[in-house]
Amino acid sequence: MNLPKGFRYSGVAAGIKASGNKDIALIVSDDGATVAGVYTQNIVRASSIDWNVTITPSDQFRAVVVNSGNANACTGDEGIANNRQMAEATSAALGVTAEQVAVLSTGVIGVQLPMEKIEKGIQDAATSLADGEANFCAASEAITTTDKSPKTAQATVAIDGETVTIAAMAKGAGMIGPRMATMLGVVMTDAQITPKVAQAILDAATAASFNRISVEGHMSTNDAVLLMASGKAGSQISSATDIQQLSAAVTDVCIELAKMIPADGEGASHLIQIDVTGAQSDDAADQIARTVAASALVKTAVTGNDPNWGRIVSAVGYAGVDLQSNEINLVLNGFELFSAGQPVAFDAAEVSKSIGDNFETQIELSVGSGAGKSRHWTSDLTVDYVRFNSEYTT
């Protein structure tokens, strides 16, 4: 794995998780980095989000500390103090200021952080920092909760004769509702960019990736994605063409990561991709795609390998978008099921087999002759999902 220059990583077990798995991660830029962030839009949000909003974007950034297993959300004044204590413990271990440290937390809501364990974990993580793939993977493991495995992606791009590397890690499998990040993620690059450019790149990447996924439509209290740029790849990227090239590469990495989240949805047996075209605007197409993705009936139909096109078409109809029903067309896994507002004869057993034989289900909807389009990814809804989440804290 190619990793961007200028970063060190670590992931350790501090005893926050009952499983004993890794639960504290550090990502450090020893010589400083530019940082930008996007955060949950939930009014009920964790102390870490309020902290990070005040310190990003910045060109004086040094580190992010992550704890998993405890969200530190809805924990009042004690939670606010504990979040600051995490930043201060990290700053003391690294010799930087607390305001140069972002904090990310994920896990159960409403439980106070075990600060003695966390402070020791931060010390252990600081002493084990290294810049290699093994440490990158350890950090990516330490940020997970109910994930089946860590989620990472990487890309290298040549920009104006210089090689720029991007690497990213994310966590997320449940409580995924698409509005500003939808999970925890850290994207790192050795490109040299200003905070303004970093924020614009991250906003665009998030809009095309993490804001287009869902599992059950439940927005988290802790969602956050950070973009860190060490500047070690060469001179500052400033021309519109070069910025666009970097932005496209960051977006591709984020899309790759984003698809892993509903694919890893708790109990999921299918990843569902929904493409909507022909709408009067991109916003209208997005509203349709989100509505279809949120339908429990559509999700369970895919779980049961059932080509029940009526569930999909009716979801389009209640999406709140102005369209004509006789202009709706539906293709499922390459099979035309509905055309110009009418059903099409098809072999139900063949279409059912195509769903059952493939992990990814493709839903293509055309709703008119407009230029608006959108793509969304979600997971199906299984008995295992219900069982897992009904027993999550007990």
Residues 353 and 224 in one domain: no
DSSP H or E segment with residue 206: helix 195-208
Q: Give the per-residue pLDDT at 68.
A: 96
For the segment 344-356, the average pLDDT, to the nearest whole number, is 98
Give the Cα separation of 53 and 125 in Å (integer): 24
Active site residue 291: no
Place 246 in a pLDDT band, splitting at 50, 70 and 90.
Answer: very high
Identify whether 211 is part of a domain. Answer: yes
List the domain range (segments joined by +) for residue 300. 271-390
Token pair in block for residue 171: 């966590």
Give the Cα separation of 377 and 289 in Å (integer): 9
Residues 283 and 162 in one domain: no
**pLDDT, tens digit, 9 for 90 and up, residues 234-245:** 889 999 999 999
State residue 287 phi and psi, 5-degree precision: -65, -40
Residues 59 and 188 in one domain: yes
Token pair in block for residue 118: 């966390």
Place 215 in a pLDDT band, splitting at 50, 70 and 90.
Answer: confident
Q: Give the per-residue pLDDT at 132.
A: 94
Q: Give the per-residue pLDDT at 376.
A: 95
Q: Give the per-residue pLDDT at 219.
A: 73
Place 374 in a pLDDT band, splitting at 50, 70 and 90.
Answer: very high
Residues 152 and 70 in one domain: yes
Give the Cα separation of 157 and 128 in Å (integer): 30
Residues 282 and 245 in one domain: no
State residue 352 phi and psi, 5-degree precision: -60, -40
Last residue within a domain, chosen from 233, 263, 293: 263
Residues 23 and 94 in one domain: yes
Residues 252 and 275 in one domain: no
pTM of the model: 0.92
Q: Give the per-residue pLDDT at 387.
A: 79
Q: Give the per-residue pLDDT at 175.
A: 56
Last residue within a domain, chosen from 263, 290, 306: 263
CB atoms within 10 A of CB 111: 17
**pLDDT, tens digit, 9 for 90 and up, residues 31-67:** 999 999 999 888 899 999 999 999 999 999 999 999 9
Q: Give the per-residue pLDDT at 390.
A: 77
Considering the candidates 34, 106, 152, 182, report the single residue annotated as catalytic. 182
Give the Cα separation of 95 and 106 in Å (integer): 25
Q: How far apart are the first and last CA of the chain?
A: 39
Identify whether 1 is part of a domain. Answer: no
Residue with the larger pLDDT of the pair 268 and 248: 248
Give the Cα separation of 86 and 70 in Å (integer): 13
**pLDDT, tens digit, 9 for 90 and up, residues 174-193:** 656 766 555 899 999 999 99
Q: What's 342's domain CATH number?
A: 3.10.20.340
CB atoms within 10 A of CB 283: 12
Strand ranges, E, within 126-171: 151-159, 162-171
281: pLDDT strictly greater than 80? yes
> Environment class of residue 378 by beta-carbon count within 10 Å: exposed (0-12), middle (13-18) or buried (19+)?
buried
Determine what percent of the chain is predicted with pLDDT higher than 70: 96
Identify whether 3 is part of a domain. Answer: no
Residues 217 and 237 in one domain: yes
Residue with the larger pLDDT of the pair 173 and 95: 95
Give the Cα separation of 265 and 359 in Å (integer): 12
Give the Cα separation of 389 and 268 in Å (integer): 13
Number of domains making up the chain: 2
**pLDDT, tens digit, 9 for 90 and up, residues 287-319:** 999 999 999 999 999 999 999 999 999 999 999
Q: With left for phi above 0 and alpha for psi between -120 and 50, is residue 296 left, alpha or beta?
A: alpha
The overall average pLDDT reported for the chain is 94
Give the Cα separation of 237 and 188 in Å (integer): 15
Q: What angle do CA 29, 31, 37 make, to 5 degrees?
A: 45
